[in-house]
Amino acid sequence: MQRILEVTSVDISLIKTKPPQILIVAHGTVPTSGWKTPELSPWFYIRPPDDCIQDFDFVAEEPSGIVLEMITTVVAETTIPRDPADYWGPGQPLRGVRIHARGNAKEASLDISDQAKQAVALSGGDLIPWPWLLPTKPPGDGLIGKSLRVYHSGDGLTLDYRLDRANIELSPTTERIVRVWFG
C-alpha cells in the first residue's frame, strides 16, 4: 500500500449510535488505472496532538502489469467507533481529521453541535448531513428541475460543466450516497 497522488475532498459526519460514531469519506486521485483497495490508515500517537486533529494516510494498492496512464478517482471511507466528545480522553473532543496523500493534505473540521443540526435520520438510524433538506434554501432550487447523473465511485465521467445537472455518487460496495454535487 502506498499513498495516493492527491486528496480532492474530505467529509466528516456523525452516525447516530450510542455513543455516536464518526464517518469519514475521502476522495482522491491516482496517476493510473488499476489501483485497488483504497483506505484511510490512521496515525497512532504517543500523546494526543495539540490541535486535536486525527491524521490519516490515504493509501491504496498499486497496480501491477499493464495500466492506462490517466488520472483516476478513488474513494475511501472509514467508521471510527469512538465518541467524538471524548475521542482523546474524557473531555477531550476530536476537532477534525487531516488526510495525507503524496502531493497534498486536506482537513475537515468536526463541530459536534453543528453536525447534529444538519443531520437527517435515514432508515437504519444513520445521520448524514443533507444541507439542501434543511429550512435554509440552497443555491438555486436544489435538485428540482435539474438533470440527474447517478454514478458509482471510480466510474469514468465526462468533464463538461453543466449548471443544470446534479451528480449523485454512490459507493460501489454499499450503494449508499457518498457525495452530491452540481455541475
Among candidates 94, 127, 131, which has minimal Cα distance to 14? 127
Among candidates 108, 90, 92, 120, which has minimal Cα distance to 16? 120
Fold of 130-183: Trypsin Inhibitor V; Chain A (3.30.10)
- Bridge-based pairing of strands 165-170 and 147-152 is parallel
The model's pLDDT over 36-73, given as tens digits with 9 standing for 90+, comes to: 999 999 999 888 899 999 999 999 999 988 888 888 89
- Contact of 56 with 40, CB cutoff 8 Å: yes
- Bridge-based pairing of strands 21-32 and 6-15 is antiparallel
Cα Rg, the chain, nearest whole Å? 17
Count CA atoms closer than 13 A to 173's CA, side-chain side: 5
Q: What nine digits make up the cell of 98?
A: 487531516
The model's pLDDT over 109-131, given as tens digits with 9 standing for 90+, comes to: 987 654 443 443 333 444 444 44
Residue type, 55: D
Q: Which of the four pLDDT bands, split at 50, 70 and 90, describes residue 151? A: confident
Q: Is 13 helix (H, G, I), strand (E, B) or coil?
A: strand
Q: What nine digits make up the cell of 160?
A: 463538461
What is the residue extent of each domain of the chain? Answer: 2-124, 130-183
| 27 vs 140, residue with greater confidence | 27
